């Protein structure tokens, strides 16, 4: 059984370690099948094979080297899969993974599993895929009888995996691929100016201060940004706040946003809908500020404050300012 990890520049800069942890977890679970781990360095971002790809059998690179073009990347990965014939292709469940993995599965007539958060061993010693359903309320275990299964790995699910090296030496191989002129011809004509990032990202922050519809306006996020800055944290949001246009979509936490697992999550003016909880209930400590004492968020909170946030947040800021003075 061959596990093929697809790494893009985006993964390697961010979640590559988690992706590799997932591959080693899959290897451990497929013990009956003598699994191999192969790594496809799709955009030449793995700069240190010894450190980044330690313990894997093979690292593949492309000839020609990849351009930063989604369709060309997909062309090349599909051809790589035809040559390598993996039984399982693993892509990080981030922007690149969500964009490419389902399309790869369709092209390769493969099975597709999104948001995989664990692996189990089937009765025959094969690999089964675990993923959350019903907004994280239950887990389902899927077995695939397709020749190839493409999956995306749910972020923050494989952070502390113990790695058992699968190979002592890693072989680097170059794969010749042909990019269709129609794919290579697609060029990006506009680039979104990235918002200026101050402080940690939502994914990496140990403290997240998140706001919801209860803030009442975009201005409400001003105080939350201040609080996040004081705590060296990031600002998150519920979908209702994002849909209202008060904050950018990349701040959304939840089922259709980012999954986070910080040390401290402060939910302010957020009711605690199941889709929001799906993205943050693994936080180590949860503090909820809500003026409705029956808000479901209090069901998961370690500390609950029943109050108007407009009174509590300034008081918190004043207290922090006093302590740091």
Q: According to CB under 6 A, which one of 38, 61, 131, 276 is a site residue for ligand FAD? A: 276
Quick one: tokens of 118? 């664990």
The torsion angle over the Cα atoms of residues 271, 274, 275 and 276, rounded to 10 degrees, is 40
Stretches 64-72, 156-164, 200-208, 269-277: which one binds ligand FAD (CB under 6 A)? 269-277
Closer residue to ligand FAD in complex, CB, 151/268: 268
Instruction: Give min distance, CB of 295 to ligand FAD, in A.
Output: 4
Taking the CA atoms of the chain, what radius of gyration do you get in angstroms?
Answer: 22
Instruction: Give min distance, CB of 244 to ligand FAD, in A.
Output: 9
* Residue 236 sits in the site that holds ligand FAD (CB under 6 A): no
Q: 3-state class of 76 per DSSP?
A: helix
Closer residue to ligand FAD in complex, CB, 231/270: 270
* Residue 308 sits in the site that holds ligand FAD (CB under 6 A): yes
Q: Could you tell me if 284 and 264 are in contact, meaning their C-beta atoms sit under 8 angstroms apart?
A: yes
Rounded CA-CA distance 28/99 in Å is 28
Q: According to CB under 6 A, which one of 238, 251, 259, 281 is a site residue for ligand FAD? A: 238
Q: Could you tell me if 109 and 101 are in contact, meaning their C-beta atoms sit under 8 angstroms apart?
A: no
Q: 3-state class of 50 per DSSP?
A: helix
User: Which residues have a Cβ under 8 Å from the Cβ of 166 and sit 6 or more positions away?
Assistant: 24, 27, 35, 36, 37, 55, 56, 57
Closer residue to ligand FAD in complex, CB, 166/241: 241
Closer residue to ligand FAD in complex, CB, 86/93: 93
Quick one: tokens of 140? 């389902």
Q: Which of residues 247-266 bind ligand FAD (CB under 6 A)?
A: 252, 254-257
Closer residue to ligand FAD in complex, CB, 204/308: 308
Instruction: Give min distance, CB of 263 to ligand FAD, in A.
Output: 20
Closer residue to ligand FAD in complex, CB, 16/221: 221
Closer residue to ligand FAD in complex, CB, 29/316: 316
Placement of tokens 């690149």 in the chain = 96
Stretches 43-51, 98-106, 173-181, 303-311: which one binds ligand FAD (CB under 6 A)? 303-311
What's the half-sphere exposure (Cβ side, CA atoms, 13 Å) at 219? 2
Report which of 265, 275, 274, 249 is spatially closest to residue 301, judged by C-alpha positions. 265
DSSP 205-252: -SEEEEE-GGG-STTHHHHHHHHHHHTT-EEEE-HHHHHTTSS-GGGB
* Residue 279 sits in the site that holds ligand FAD (CB under 6 A): yes
Q: Which of residues 184-213 bind ligand FAD (CB under 6 A)?
A: 212-213
Binding site for ligand FAD (CB under 6 A): 212-214, 238-241, 252, 254-257, 269-271, 273, 275-276, 279, 289-292, 295, 308-310
């Amino acid at each position: 059984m061959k596990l093929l990890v697809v790494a893009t520049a985006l993964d390697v800069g961010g979640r590559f370690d988690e992706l590799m942890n997932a591959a080693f977890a899959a290897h451990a679970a497929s013990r009956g099948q003598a699994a191999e781990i192969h790594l496809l360095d799709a955009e030449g971002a793995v700069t240190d094979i010894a450190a980044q790809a330690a313990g894997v059998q093979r690292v593949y690179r492309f000839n020609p080297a990849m351009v930063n073009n989604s369709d060309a990347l997909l062309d090349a990965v599909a051809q790589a899969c035809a040559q390598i014939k993996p039984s399982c292709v693993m892509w990080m469940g981030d922007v690149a993974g969500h964009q490419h993995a389902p399309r790869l599965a369709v092209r390769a007539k493969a099975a597709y599993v999104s948001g995989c958060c664990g692996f189990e061993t089937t009765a025959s010693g094969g690999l089964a895929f675990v993923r959350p359903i019903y907004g994280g309320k239950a887990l389902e275990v899927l077995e695939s009888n397709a020749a190839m299964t493409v999956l995306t790995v749910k972020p923050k699910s494989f952070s502390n995996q113990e790695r058992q090296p699968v190979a002592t030496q890693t072989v680097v191989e170059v794969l010749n691929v042909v990019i269709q002129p129609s794919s290579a011809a697609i060029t990006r004509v506009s680039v979104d100016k990235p918002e200026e990032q101050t402080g940690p990202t939502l994914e990496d922050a140990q403290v997240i201060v998140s706001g919801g519809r209860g803030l009442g306006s975009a201005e409400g996020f001003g105080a939350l940004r201040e609080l996040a800055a004081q705590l060296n944290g990031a600002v998150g949001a519920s979908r209702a706040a994002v849909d209202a246009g008060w904050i950018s979509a990349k701040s959304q936490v939840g089922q259709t946003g980012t999954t986070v697992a910080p040390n401290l999550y402060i939910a302010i003016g957020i009711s605690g809908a199941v889709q929001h909880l799906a993205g943050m209930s693994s936080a180590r400590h949860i503090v909820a500020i809500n003026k409705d004492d029956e808000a479901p968020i209090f069901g998961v909170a370690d500390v609950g404050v029943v109050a108007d946030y407009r009174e509590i947040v300034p008081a918190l800021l004043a207290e922090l300012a006093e302590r740091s003075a």
